[in-house]
Amino acid sequence: MSQPSEYVTLVSSDGFEFILPRSCACVSGTIRRMLDPSSKFSEALTGRCVLENISGIVLEKVCEYFLYNEKNKEQSNVPDMEIPPELCLELLMAADYLDT
């Protein structure tokens, strides 16, 4: 069996694609399970996760968080990310769905 790619593609409901390091995306329990090589999910083979219930603007912010989290995971006193108030509810719902 071949080694999984270092990068994964997350696709929003409206077709926007975000390519990011697998280690960042796997902060999400949902994405980690989708990409698990021992799973029978097609995402594990393709490295491409289509998230039908998350819009592009919300998924962009989620990806920004994944990268921010990875960059700052060894730090203390990390400032909060800027979150536009109009996205708060959708981001909470996405975080819940993504198990993040």
CB neighbours of residue 24 within 10 Å: 19
Domains of the chain: 7-98 (3.30.710.10)
- Type of residue at 36: D
Q: What does the pLDDT look like over 46-74, one tens digit per residue? A: 999 999 999 999 999 999 999 999 999 88
d(C-alpha 100, C-alpha 29), whole Å: 6
The DSSP annotation for 10-40 comes to EE-TTS-EEEEEHHHHTTSHHHHHHH-TTS-
Position 2 scores a pLDDT of: 61
pTM of the model: 0.91
Q: Bin 69: left if φ > 0, else alpha if -120 < ψ < 50, else beta.
A: alpha
Position 10 scores a pLDDT of: 98
Q: What is the mean pLDDT of each run of 10 residues along the chain (100 residues)?
A: 83 98 96 93 94 97 95 89 94 96
